[in-house]
Amino acid sequence: MAVIRTEKICKVYNPDTIPVHALKDVSIQVEKGEFTSLVGPSGSGKTTLLNMLGALDMPSSGKSFIGDVEVTKLSDKERINFRLHNIGFVFQHYNLIPVFTARENVSFIMMLQGVAQKELLERADELLESVGLGDRKDARPHELSGGQQQRVAVARALASKPRFILADEPTANLDTKAAMNLLDIMEKMNEEQKVTFVFSTHDQRVIKRARRVVTLVDGAVHSDKTTTPDNTVKE
C-alpha cells in the first residue's frame, strides 16, 4: 500500500476575493522507501502540495490518504496528533526551538509522544551521531551553522519514527558543501533504514540526486520521472 496517496486534490486560496488556484487535480502516490523531489518554478504549488501531504492544510476538494487513514477527514486536533506520530518535518528555516539544545530539540518530539525519559535520551544521542553532530549535542541552534541546524532538523524529524519525512527546500539556505552533506545524510537514511523522503527544491544539484522527480507547473503535475537503479528513466 502507498504511504501517501492523493485523489484529485485542488487548492484554491482566497476563493471569495481573487481566487488563486494553487493546486489543480493533483493525484500522486508515494511508496515506501522513495526518495522523491518536488520541483517546479516559483509559485507552481510545491509548498502547497507538501502542506497537503503533511496534513498541515486541507484541500478545497479531493482526498488525501496516509496509509489507510483519510487525513482529509480528520479534525484539526486529530491531524496534529496524527502528524506527531506519523510525519517528520524539515522546514526551510526557523526549524528548531531556539531555547533548546540540539539534544533537547530532538528529544522534544519524543517527549510529546510520551516516550520514556531514558529511551528518549539514548535515541536523541544516536540520531545526532548519525547526522554527524555527536560532538555538538549541547549547542543551541544559534551556536550551529545553517547546515548543522538542518541536520538537527533531520534528526528531529526522524525521532518520532515517522512513516515519511517531508522537507520544504531544506537546502535553500545552505552553501554547496553543506547542501551535499545534508543530502548524503538523507540518502544514507533512505538506503539503510528505508526512510521515505519527499522534498521540494529549486536546486539542480539536489534534483540530480533524487530518484523520482515530480515536476509541478501552475499547480498541476507536469511530469513524473523515476530513475531506476539501472539508470533508465521511467515516466
Partner 1 sequence: MKTLFKLAWRSLWRNKRRTLITISALIFAVVASVFMQSINRGSHEMIVDNMTRFQTGYLQIQDYRFENEPSLDNSFYYDGDLERELLEQDDRITFVLPRIETFMLAADEQTTRGGFVFGVDLEKEHQFNGLKDRLVNGRFFDDRERGVVLSQGFSDRLGLSVSDTIALIGQGRFGMSASGLYEIVGIMDHPLPDMNSRTIYMPLETARELLSAEDKVTSLLIGMDSDRHTDAVAANIGHFLEGSELRVFTWPELIPELLELLEFDLVGAYLMSYILYIVIAFGFFGTILTMTLERIKEFGILISVGMARLKLAFTLFLEVFIIGLLGVIAGVVFAWLLLYYFYLYPIELTGELAETVIDMGWAPVLPMSFAPDQFYTQAVIVFFIAILIAVYPMYRVIRLDVISASRS
Residue from the set 40, 54, 141, 170 that interacts with ligand ATP by CB under 6 A: 40
Q: At its nearest, how many Å lie between partner 1 and the CB of residue 95?
A: 7
C-alpha–C-alpha distance, residues 150 and 71, integer Å: 27
C-alpha–C-alpha distance, residues 209 and 93, integer Å: 22
Q: Which does 42 bind (CB under 5 to 8 A by kind): partner 1, Mg ion, ligand ATP, none?
A: ligand ATP
Neighbours of 158 (CB within 10 A): 22
Using CB under 5 A as the binding rule, whether residue 47 contacts Mg ion is answered as: yes
Cell of 9: 486534490
Give residues 43-62 in contact with ligand ATP (rule: CB under 6 A).
43-48
State the Cα torsion 35-93-105-200 to the nearest 10°.
-10
C-alpha–C-alpha distance, residues 163 and 184, integer Å: 20
Q: At its nearest, how many Å lie between ligand ATP and the CB of residue 24?
A: 11
Q: Are 40 and 217 in contact (CB under 8 A)?
A: yes
Cell of 180: 551535499
Q: At its nearest, how many Å lie between partner 1 and the CB of residue 89?
A: 5
Pattern of binders to ligand ATP over 3-22, x per CB under 6 A? ----------xx-----x-x
Q: At its nearest, how many Å lie between partner 1 and the CB of residue 104?
A: 8
Q: Are 90 and 167 in contact (CB under 8 A)?
A: yes
Interaction site with partner 1 (CB under 8 A): 51, 54, 56-57, 77, 80-81, 83-85, 87, 89, 91, 94-95, 97-100, 104, 108-109, 111-113, 156, 160
Q: How many helices (H) and strands (E) does the chain have?
A: 7, 12
Query: Residue 101 or 200: which CB sits closer to Mg ion?
Result: 200
C-alpha–C-alpha distance, residues 133 and 197, integer Å: 21
Using CB under 5 A as the binding rule, whether residue 201 contacts Mg ion is answered as: no
Using CB under 5 A as the binding rule, whether residue 171 contacts Mg ion is answered as: no
- Chain residues binding Mg ion by CB under 5 A are 46-47
- Chain residues binding ligand ATP by CB under 6 A are 13-14, 20, 22, 40, 42-48
